[in-house]
Amino acid sequence: MSEGRPPGIGGVARRLGLRVKSALAPSGDSADTARSEPDTTGRTTRRDTAATKKSQLQAAQAQLEQLTTTRDELRQQRLAVQQVLGAEHGKSVQPRLKVEKTNGVPSFVVSQRMMQRIYGAAEDPRAGLDGIGATFADRAGTARFARSHAVPVLDESDVAPEAVVVAHAFKGEVALVEVRAPQGVRHFEADGTDPGDIRPAATYDPAIAQPEGFEDICAWSKTLSRHIPRPYVQVYWSATSDGPRVHHLEVDPDRIPALTPEWDKRLGLAFDGAYSRYLKQPFRRGGLANRVPGGTFTPEEIV
């Protein structure tokens, strides 16, 4: 026992302390209410932030998946070109670095404008760097070229009737045939199918008839374009009493039809295929990077 402290004083002090603590504490109901209704403001904010981030992540993953699919499709298209060129050289595929082609999503207008910039870099833009444009600068040159491939053409002395049919040809392939009339325009695929209204800037007229000799127009246009070292040409045809006749050829056409996105892509794919075939001859003759140092390539060289 401590000296000077009355007996039992420690117990009394402890009991008083407990009573004071009990009086100052919240009532049982209040404590239960506080425990049952916690402050959730912070938790709600964190949940909203997490949900937003999750949504953004899912959108980014979907976009990445779409871009990956597009990349894989482009790789497959490039591989197809490599296989075509490889077969011409006794290989399963042509090395990627030796394959020249347009890049990105195929586009007819973009591809042709690219070629026009190349042709325009020549001293004589109308002739182009390869000089081919000069061959078709007049009717005489066009007539000689057409007759050399047994394709009917208007005589130089003929009064040229209006060209009403335009074949859009891609180095041996015809992707679209345009038929003009005073009231509008109508298009046909090479098999005669009408794709409908695919040219927003022109009036589509389904009443325009398929031209006489349509199959011949397609076949002859393929022949002519196959022997012109340009990926895309326009073959203009006139209707005569003797059947269709070549009116003239545009090997560097300024007038490029603005088509719907679907058809711009379709003709862009046709352009890419034609571009690979267009490069086949100079590659085999060494006109590209495989040419020995100091070598040259001229249009007169043939495969």
With bands split at pLDDT 50, 70 and 90, how would you rate the model's confidence at 31? very low
Cα 215 from chain centroid?
A: 29
pLDDT of 289 higher than 90: no
The structure tokens listed for 107 are 């586009």
Mean pLDDT taken over the chain:
79
Higher-confidence position of 88 and 181: 181
C-alpha–C-alpha distance, residues 196 and 272, integer Å? 24
- For every residue of 7-68, DSSP letters joined together read TTHHHHHHHHHHHHHHHHSPPHHHHHHHHHS---HHHHHHHHHHHHHHHHHHHHHHHHHHHH
**34 or 75: which leads in pLDDT:** 75
Looking at this protein, which amino acid is placed at residue 135?
Answer: T
Output the pLDDT for position 124. Answer: 85
Chain mean position to CA 27: 75
Helices (H), the chain: 9-24, 28-36, 41-88, 108-119, 132-135, 139-148, 214-226, 261-284
Look up residue 37 and give its amino acid: E
What does residue 186 show for φ and ψ, rounded to 5 degrees?
Answer: -140, 145
Q: Tell me, what's the pLDDT at 303? A: 36
Position 111 scores a pLDDT of 87
Single-letter amino acid, residue 115: M
- DSSP tag of 198: -
Q: Two tokens at 86?
A: 């490889």
Q: Kindly report the CA angle at 156 between 213 and 226, in degrees rounded to 5?
A: 50
The answer to whether the pTM exceeds 0.85 is no
Please give the pLDDT value at position 286: 59
What is the DSSP-derived secondary structure letter of residue 303?
Answer: -
Question: Which of the 8 DSSP states describes residue 250?
Answer: E
pLDDT digits (tens, 9 = 90+) for 229-244: 899 999 999 988 889 9
294: left (phi over 0), alpha (psi -120 to 50) or beta: left
Each residue's pLDDT tens digit, 146-183? 999 999 998 766 666 777 899 999 999 999 999 999 98
What is d(CA 243, CA 213) in angstroms, rounded to the nearest whole number?
Answer: 7
Q: Across the strands, what pairs with 185?
A: 180, 204
Helix (H, G, I), strand (E, B) or coil at 193: coil
**Rounded mean pLDDT, 127-136:** 83
* Cα dihedral 262/255/120/289 (nearest 10): 40
Task: Give the homologous superfamily in CATH for domain 106-284.
Answer: ATP-grasp fold, B domain (3.30.470.20)
The percent of residues in the chain predicted with pLDDT above 90, rounded, is 36
Map 205-228 to HEC letters.
CCCCCCCCCHHHHHHHHHHHHHCC
Res 260 pLDDT > 90:
yes
